[in-house]
Amino acid sequence: MNAGLLGVGKYVPSHILTNQDLENRMDTSDEWIRTMTGIEERRIADEETDTSHMAHDAAVEAIKDAGIKPEEIGLIIVATVTPDRPFPSVSSMLQYQLGAVNAAAMDVSAACAGFMYGIVTAKQFVESGTYDYVLVVGVEKLSKITDWEDRNTAVLFGDGAGATVVGKVSEGRGILSFELGADGSGGKHLYQDDKLKMNGREVFKFAVRQMGQTALNVIEKAGLAKEDVDYLIPHQANIRIMEASRERLGLPVEKMSKTIHKYGNTSSASIPISLVDDLADGKIKDDDIVVFVGFGGGLVWGGLCMRWGK
């Protein structure tokens, strides 16, 4: 019996911050941002909208899509590095707001790989028979830790949330394999010290190497070959990193998810937000082999290979 994804949802703030807007605020250009990152615009939440609000709206959509009731959820996992406050956890706030009266709640801190860590944790609880349904949310309000004086990082990030309900799926479908990993020696390259700090070049080198390798590892662990992959959803950090992973799998352009131009890097929310848009656009069909792969501050990474469908 495999665990799979039963429903999905997302929330992105309505306010759009374009590259042109940033040109007016700092020494940068639309051309530099597009060429170096693939980003054209990103969403920024207003003061009143905190991480838990975005998580809530994405979660409500995912629960509805899964066709379950909040009281049926056994565990809520929220992946975030930008909680409303250090505690109570965003997941506890969500448990109350949703009326998920039978759910345990915990937050996971694994930066941009957080959603992968969340899904893999959910899978263990579902496949062991502990919980029927686990709600997993990836959510960030990165704008509150962005250093708006630092052009190296200010142009990269956006706010948003993506959610999914993990539960049992039919034979042969669901999560076939996964990989999680960490290399804490790289923690110095990407961290929060009041504001977010990043050595972009070091993170870039790590990401190019690790994203492709993790994708290949999960394909092999699933007993499949690169040629079997129908769709790749990489963490939307930088189009050049994403392209390197796609090329390593030998996939054509249309088989890789690309939403970075619309939302920038939304960290743990980027993979589920992309998944929601790709499903709406009909890019993923039942029984497709889909590979997800993410990396982030820690340094950490995570990937999984699944056969889509309930």
Q: Which of 264, 297, 302, 303 binds ligand ACO (CB under 6 A)?
A: 297
CA distances from 24 to 21, 33, 157, 234 (A): 5, 14, 17, 31
Q: How far is the CB of 235 from ligand ACO (least distance, A)?
A: 8
Q: Which of 112, 189, 238, 305 is catalytic?
A: 112
114 Cβ contact list (under 8 Å, min separation 6): 79, 80, 81, 108, 138, 267, 268, 294, 296
Give dist(CA 38, CA 55) in Å, integer: 26
Q: Which of 53, 189, 238, 265 is catalytic?
A: 265
Q: How far is the CB of 190 from ligand ACO (least distance, A)?
A: 5
Q: Which of 264, 296, 302, 303 binds ligand ACO (CB under 6 A)?
A: 296
Burial of 144 per CB tally in 10 Å (0-12, 13-18, 19+): middle
Q: Residue 237, interface with ligand ACO (CB under 6 A)?
A: yes
- Is 52 within 8 Å of 84 (Cβ atoms)? yes
Q: How far is the CB of 196 from ligand ACO (least distance, A)?
A: 7
What six digits make up the tokens of 258? 């690309």
Give dist(CA 184, CA 182) in Å, integer: 6
Q: Residue 191, interface with ligand ACO (CB under 6 A)?
A: no
265 noted as active-site residue: yes
What six digits make up the tokens of 269? 């929310």
CA 145 to chain CA centroid, nearest Å: 18
112 noted as active-site residue: yes
Q: Residue 32, interface with ligand ACO (CB under 6 A)?
A: yes
What six digits make up the tokens of 61? 């959509």
- Is 189 within 8 Å of 199 (Cβ atoms)? yes
Question: Scanning residues 124 to 183, which ones bind ligand ACO (CB under 6 A)?
Answer: 151-152, 155
Q: Which of 204, 231, 301, 308 binds ligand ACO (CB under 6 A)?
A: 204
Residue number with CB closer to ligand ACO (61 or 140): 140
Binding mask 207-236 for ligand ACO (x = CB under 6 A): x-----------------------------
Q: Residue 28, interface with ligand ACO (CB under 6 A)?
A: yes
Q: How far is the CB of 10 from ligand ACO (least distance, A)?
A: 18
Q: Residue 300, interface with ligand ACO (CB under 6 A)?
A: no
Residue number with CB closer to ligand ACO (20 or 152): 152
- Is 248 within 8 Å of 212 (Cβ atoms)? yes
Q: Which of 19, 235, 238, 305 is catalytic?
A: 235
Q: How far is the CB of 201 from ligand ACO (least distance, A)?
A: 4
Q: How far is the CB of 26 from ligand ACO (least distance, A)?
A: 7
Residues annotated as catalytic are 112, 235, 265
Residues at the site binding ligand ACO, with contacts judged by CB under 6 A = 28, 32-33, 36-37, 111-112, 151-152, 155, 190, 200-201, 203-204, 207, 237-238, 241, 265, 267, 296-297
